[in-house]
A and B are shown apart, each in its own frame.
Chain A
Amino acid sequence: MSDIPHTTFLDEVAALPACGKINECIQCGVCSGSCSTATHWEYPPRKVIAMVRAGMKDELLKSNSIWFCVSCYLCTARCPRDIKPANIVHGLESIAIKEGYKPPTTTTTMYRSFAQSIVDHGRVYEFGFMLKYFLRTNPFAALKMLPMAIQLFRHGRMPLAPKQVKGKEELTTIINKMGEGGDR
């Protein structure tokens, strides 16, 4: 191999927010040993980091790894080198989306519906956001959630009409400002 692909991919990832320590990972496996979902990942979090360093971008972003992170942050709390693997995994998701890799899960749709709800109401409007998510992905799956929805509704935890936050205009300005930096 004449070119050294890993330097560019590694630099790209290291430049993501709070991912700068990736080169200090000692491959101990604490993150993968802690990860709540790692058994579903083609490559567990530790290996994701090794693959970034090895420049295996296409192979990594094509895999189902990274999309399964549920942000439990166990990896990040326990990592002995303060690498913050969860940040790296989410950073990789955004690279993958930008570069048109197709996620194997509905995670991105979930993120978008979630974010849209905040843009619209300044807060998460559970009913609307879940409705949107299921309509966009698998409407039948929503039926399975019905009993829980009813419970939440009964306890006043899921109002049917959205509530706006105070100072919505200021929030919109902040969000728009953020949006200038890239897509949501």
Chain B
Amino acid sequence: MEPRIGVYVCHCGSNIAATVDVEKVAEYARTLPAVVVSRDYKFMCSDPGQDLIKKDIRELGVNRVVVASCSPLMHEPTFRRAVQEAGLNPYYFQMANVREHCSWVTESRKEATEKARALVSAAVRRVYFHQPLESKEVPVHPDTLVVGGGIAGIQAALEIANSGHKVCLVEREPSIGGHMMQLDKTFPTLDCSACILTPKMSMVGAHPSIELLTYSEIDTVSGYVGNFRVKIRKKARYVDVDRCNGCGTCITKCPVKVDSEFDEKLSKRKAIYVPFAQAVPNVTTIDREHCTYFLKGKCRACEKFCERNAINFEQEDELIEIQVGNVILTTGYRLFDPSAIKEYGYGRLDNVLTSLEFERMVNSAGPTSGHILLKNGKEPESIAIIHCVGSRDVKYHEYCSRVCCMYGMKFAHLLLEHVQGAKVYEFYIDIRSPGKGYEEFYNRVQREGAVFFRGRPGEVTDVALTPEEKGKLIVQFEDTLVGKQRRLPVDMVVLCSGIEPQSDSQEMAHKFNISIGKEKFFTEKHPKLDPVATMTDGVFIAGCCQGPRDIPDTVAQASAAAARVLALINKGKVEIEADTAVVDEDRCSGCRVCNLLCPYNAITYIEKDKVSRINEALCKGCGTCVAGCPSGAITHRHFTNEQIDAELQGILA
């Protein structure tokens, strides 16, 4: 079939036409080999624009199409669809980007027009050599993996499971719940955090469609959208979860006391423990690192007293493999460790607390039964709350953590409520309260009597300069609205530490083949238009693993990710791009260089045929292997040597 090329130059309103002489470019295209028609039009992506193409295909026998317009990222799918609707293979299409690459970045009309001509010439010569490619469909496995059992993971798992589809929820701690479980009240409505979370947690525990794997971690991941194979390591908890009923007898008998992670080390737990009373699942776990039996070879008191014979010291880590169609990552965040900021004295001065320590202290189920106490057991009379600790600071995290202004003000409210006559001071740079009811909450806390000083303190010290500073923590700051350096003696300082990515976020991103940003949060596919998808199809993200956010935003994102997964499950199949690489097995020497090069692990060596083969479903068409193969045995189906040569000649023509 002799190529008959149609060229369509778009004005994009005035986006292109104001800088590029579109008529000239269309006229020039008419002179190029095999071009049978060339037009310019105001908006090629509009329905009438697409109809122009379709009509020419039907009436003029056009069988190759070039559109000179915007970036293929925007409209390549649109035009491929139009071409396909008119009966052509969608790969008989090429786009020349004369907007982002030309009109938007060139000032002179002459130069812009010249460049547009070159780009069109390249596209025309390239499309001449295009081959029809068939995209493939693969079935989507209906099960879903959710990693991380904080509120994001809980929400996503429930949404999917409630539609009747199976979910495997993997949590590395002994219980689900995440950070929200540690919080006392939640801003701005002051609902009790555990009261609104635990019903959801028990729904997860009891749901027939949810397989809950706690104390478990992701080992390896392979496969692609619709068909992932995931190995999960169920860590030995030395307790048979089917037998243990959480009675706690063993806990009372265990002689070893360890700092409680859940209470931020403000209380003790035992070596055999349940992290908190409402844990899901409500079973015990033996902390091998602290258990006397594992350390010294004797004790086994828990075993002796367990009436249900649930203790099993012989248990080992178990590797299980599951198959799922989609994955949602909800691994959450870690609190910034303020001991890095020496001048605030955390870890050095008594009564300087982190925000999570404060959450535990103010919680009635916490280590002090909800009493706010100094190290000496007395109630504080005055408390300073310092904002932006580790956030908005180029030395630590440049970003704003988004929740600490609000939780800082929540602390003020709780303090004024819990401690009679307390004086509470908020030290802030800017109050960030953009959310429903948030500014009103700020106003409420002011009304309740919290004192706001604008200025991030320079330091917190116990070195007194006056008698009244003796025995106090002194906050030295500039009251910037007055313009004076001042010193304020208080009894307690709470640091509003920022939210940072989990320490293993890079490793997790690598396992699931997704990217992470400069701050090491997972990167979304598009920051505005695709915030829960990732560059890897079938892998979605929600909650604080993508960036700092509050609970309402986390929940909304989790539901959005679940909706995306359900759409794929409902469709039942996904289309795999056809522009992949292929190995010419006659030329392949079996050197396996490509196996190591492929960033998507798409190439495997076939032992019996002594050649490498590419899995089309995994190949993203990046071209790395094509360039790397020493035998020149790999071709990219939509970037053949012929096509690239022709494109270069077109540019230079």
Q: Does A168 make an interface contact (CB < 8 A)?
A: no
Q: Could you say which of A27, A35, A82 contacts B480, with CB atoms under 8 Å apart?
A: A27
Q: Could you say which of B456, B483, B485 contacts A35, with CB atoms under 8 Å apart?
A: B485
Contact across chains for A44 and B392 when beta carbons are under 8 A apart: no
Q: Give complex CA distance A27, B480 in Å.
A: 8
> Shortest Cβ distance from B576 into chain A, in angstroms?
47
Q: Give complex CA distance A80, B393 in Å.
A: 4
User: If the complex has contacts A78-B343, A78-B458, are A32 and B485 also in contact, measured as CB distance less than 8 A?
Assistant: yes
Please name all residues of chain B whose beta carbon is closer than 8 Å to the beta carbon of A30 when the two chains form the complex.
455-458
Question: How many contacts A-B (CB < 8 Å)?
Answer: 71
Q: Give complex CA distance A70, B351 in Å.
A: 32
Contact across chains for B459 and A33 when beta carbons are under 8 A apart: yes
Contact across chains for B458 and A32 when beta carbons are under 8 A apart: yes
Contact across chains for B458 and A46 when beta carbons are under 8 A apart: no
User: If the complex has contacts A38-B485, A80-B456, are A46 and B392 also in contact, measured as CB distance less than 8 A?
Assistant: no
Q: Does B91 make an interface contact (CB < 8 A)?
A: no
Q: Does B41 make an interface contact (CB < 8 A)?
A: no
Q: Could you say which of B429, B458, B479 contacts A74, with CB atoms under 8 Å apart?
A: B458
Q: Does B579 make an interface contact (CB < 8 A)?
A: no
Contact across chains for A80 and B483 when beta carbons are under 8 A apart: no
Q: Give complex CA distance A32, B456 in Å.
A: 10
Residue of A nearest to B396 (CB): A80
Q: Give complex CA distance A80, B483 in Å.
A: 19
Q: Does B21 make an interface contact (CB < 8 A)?
A: no
Contact across chains for A32 and B478 when beta carbons are under 8 A apart: yes
Q: Give complex CA distance A34, B455 in Å.
A: 11
Please name all residues of chain B whose beta carbon is closer than 8 Å to the beta carbon of A26 when the two chains form the complex.
392, 429-430
Central interface residue in A27, A32, A46, by most chain B CB within 10 Å: A32
Please name all residues of chain B whose beta carbon is closer than 8 Å to the beta carbon of A57 when the two chains form the complex.
none
Please name all residues of chain B whose beta carbon is closer than 8 Å to the beta carbon of A81 when the two chains form the complex.
393-394
Residue of B nearest to A32 (CB): B478
Q: Give complex CA distance A161, B429 in Å.
A: 53
Contact across chains for B392 and A33 when beta carbons are under 8 A apart: no
Q: Give complex CA distance A32, B481 in Å.
A: 12
Residues 442-459 of B, flagged 1 when their CB comes within 8 A of A and 0 if not, give 000000000000111111
Q: Give complex CA distance A158, B118 in Å.
A: 77
Q: Give complex CA distance A44, B458 in Å.
A: 13
Within 121-137 of A, Cβ neighbours of B (below 8 Å) are at none
Q: Does A29 make an interface contact (CB < 8 A)?
A: yes
Within 7-53 of A, Cβ neighbours of B (below 8 Å) are at 26-35, 38-39, 43-44, 46-47
Contact across chains for B394 and A46 when beta carbons are under 8 A apart: no
Central interface residue in A27, A33, A46, by most chain B CB within 10 Å: A33
Please name all residues of chain A whose beta carbon is closer than 8 Å to the beta carbon of B425 when the two chains form the complex.
none
Contact across chains for B393 and A46 when beta carbons are under 8 A apart: no
Please name all residues of chain B whose beta carbon is closer than 8 Å to the beta carbon of A43 when the two chains form the complex.
483
User: If the complex has contacts A29-B456, A74-B458, A80-B393, are A34 and B480 also in contact, measured as CB distance less than 8 A?
Assistant: no
Within 392-411 of B, Cβ neighbours of A (below 8 Å) are at 392-395
Q: Does B484 make an interface contact (CB < 8 A)?
A: yes
Q: Give complex CA distance A44, B479 in Å.
A: 10
User: If the complex has contacts A29-B480, A46-B478, A80-B456, are A34 and B343 also in contact, measured as CB distance less than 8 A?
Assistant: yes
Q: Give complex CA distance A44, B477 in Å.
A: 11
Contact across chains for B395 and A33 when beta carbons are under 8 A apart: no
Q: Give complex CA distance A47, B392 in Å.
A: 20
Q: Give complex CA distance A32, B458 in Å.
A: 7
Q: Does B476 make an interface contact (CB < 8 A)?
A: yes
Within 477-497 of B, Cβ neighbours of A (below 8 Å) are at 477-480, 483-485
Within 95-125 of B, Cβ neighbours of A (below 8 Å) are at none
Q: Give complex CA distance A76, B392 in Å.
A: 16
Q: Give complex CA distance A49, B484 in Å.
A: 14
Residue of B nearest to A43 (CB): B483
Q: Give complex CA distance A33, B453 in Å.
A: 12
Q: Give complex CA distance A82, B430 in Å.
A: 18
Please name all residues of chain B whose beta carbon is closer than 8 Å to the beta carbon of A74 when the two chains form the complex.
458
Residue of B nearest to A26 (CB): B429
Contact across chains for A28 and B484 when beta carbons are under 8 A apart: no
Contact across chains for A32 and B459 when beta carbons are under 8 A apart: no
User: If the complex has contacts A38-B478, A44-B485, A47-B483, are A33 and B394 also in contact, measured as CB distance less than 8 A?
Assistant: no
Contact across chains for B456 and A33 when beta carbons are under 8 A apart: yes
Within 454-482 of B, Cβ neighbours of A (below 8 Å) are at 454-459, 476-480
Q: Give complex CA distance A101, B430 in Å.
A: 36
> Shortest Cβ distance from B303 into chain A, in angstroms?
54
Contact across chains for B478 and A29 when beta carbons are under 8 A apart: yes
Residue of A nearest to B430 (CB): A26
Q: List 24 A-B contacts (CB under 8 A).
A: A26-B392, A26-B430, A27-B480, A28-B388, A28-B455, A29-B478, A29-B479, A30-B457, A32-B455, A32-B458, A33-B458, A33-B478, A34-B458, A34-B459, A35-B458, A39-B484, A39-B485, A44-B478, A44-B485, A46-B478, A80-B392, A80-B394, A80-B395, A81-B394
Interface positions of B (Cβ within 8 A of A): 343, 388, 392-395, 429-430, 454-459, 476-480, 483-485
**Among all A-B residue pairs, the 6 with the closest Cβ atoms:** A33-B458, A34-B458, A29-B455, A32-B478, A80-B393, A29-B478
Interface positions of A (Cβ within 8 A of B): 26-35, 38-39, 43-44, 46-47, 74, 78, 80-82
Q: A32-B455, A33-B456 are in contact. List 13 more A-B contacts (CB 8 A).
A: A27-B480, A29-B456, A32-B478, A32-B480, A33-B459, A33-B476, A34-B458, A34-B459, A38-B485, A39-B484, A44-B478, A46-B478, A80-B388
